[in-house]
Structure 1
Amino acid sequence: MFARFTDAARETVAHAARLAAGARPPAPRLTTGHLLLALAETRDETVPASLALDPAALRRRLGAGPGDRDLLATLGIDLDEVRRRAGASASLWRMTRSPFRPLRVEVAGPGVLVPLAGGARKVIEVAQHHARRRGALVEQSDLLRGLLADARDESLTHLRAEGVNPARLWRHLNDPHAA
């Protein structure tokens, strides 16, 4: 499933899986909250600047605690450099759908296997739909569209609490020249 994702979008989903697996206690599923936090921490140029999230505040709101990057930085260790040297790039990650349980989607990487919660699976499906309509690979902006697609989702609650207007963000995603 990751074959149709850009490197940045693949890294976002892999980062969300690491967040879910690294939670204390480990999260049983990758949620939309994990995807939102991963998007805030790995944001690229396809995501509008109007998504101004403070990753540290979002971590506190989600109860995620300090990130690996912050903890290792206190010891003088650069997590990006460690991952680069270890070869732990997003290319080592896979997202698969179970042939026996078609609604079960899992993200697997070095030492991590996390199933997607229903809302996170919907985010991925909406992102893939938008990318197919454009005839392009799934980008981070498509993942954001997926997060915004369900008005009842927990991620919208977190966005609103951070002062982001989801309707304005949706308009900006669909027409970057809109005010």
Structure 2
Amino acid sequence: MFERFTKDARAVVTLAQQEAVQELGHQHIGPEHLLLALVQDDGPAGRALRAQGLDARELRARLARTAAGGDPLDPEALRTIGIDLDAVRRATEEAFGEGALDAPPGRWRRGKRMHVPFNKGARKALELSLRHAISLKRNHIGAGHVLLGVLHDRDSPAVWILKTSGVDVHAVRTEVTRLITSEAA
């Protein structure tokens, strides 16, 4: 399917991976990460989202705040069971070097970074982007189609974020569809 993605759609997928793993430290790529990448797109998807007042910096901060679990190393909780987090950090850095605990997030095996997977919602959104492209009589998948795929599932975290941010999801759908069809004309 990715062979049908345009350069801008591939850039969105790549940016979603970077945002999820490097910027937010998440262990998967979800539709919310696709949304974050899409708002930064220069094409119809980004224009439609920004027209509704969505901002990448604010969205990234919101994703960071709403991430499940928060900070995995809670010094107070560890202290109650007899673990001094500062001592653990010092010992780790002495053994493995400064910043050893600051390694980029992701899954590791035997010292090698592993692929961070798309979750079910992101996979579904990407599959639906193909359906939206076909329904708009396109033989390629652009970033706008990816946005339509993300918006398709009304129960996804991305749609929830949009709604709770005051974004009119129907208006975004309508605008991105209008922009896609007007660019093709």
Residue 117 of structure 2 corresponds to residue 115 of structure 1: yes
Question: Does the 8 Å contact 1:127/1:146 carry over to 2?
Answer: yes
Query: Equivalents in 1 of 2:164, 2:3: separation in Å?
Result: 34
Task: Give the TM-score normalised by the residue count of structure 2.
Answer: 0.62
Which residue of the partner structure matches residue 60 of structure 2? 59
Larger strand share, 1 or 2: 1
Q: How many residues align?
A: 129
Larger helix share, 1 or 2: 2
CA RMSD of aligned residues (A): 2.2
Query: Equivalents in 1 of 2:49, 2:119: separation in Å?
Result: 24
**Counterpart secondary structure, 1:33:** helix
Which residue of the partner structure matches residue 132 of structure 2? 130
Residue 56 of structure 1 deviates from its aligned partner by 0.8
Larger radius of gyration: 2
Structure 2, unaligned runs of 5 or more: 66-112
Tell me the amino acid that sits aligned with residue 5 of structure 1: F
Aligned counterparts, 1:20-39, within 5 A: 20-23=20-23, 26-39=25-38
Tell me the amino acid that sits aligned with residue 10 of structure 2: R
Tell me the amino acid that sits aligned with residue 6 of structure 1: T
Percent identity over the alignment is: 31
Which residue of the partner structure matches residue 170 of structure 1? 173
Aligned counterparts, 1:70-81, within 5 A: none
Query: Equivalents in 1 of 2:46, 2:56: separation in Å?
Result: 16
Structure 1, unaligned runs of 5 or more: 65-110
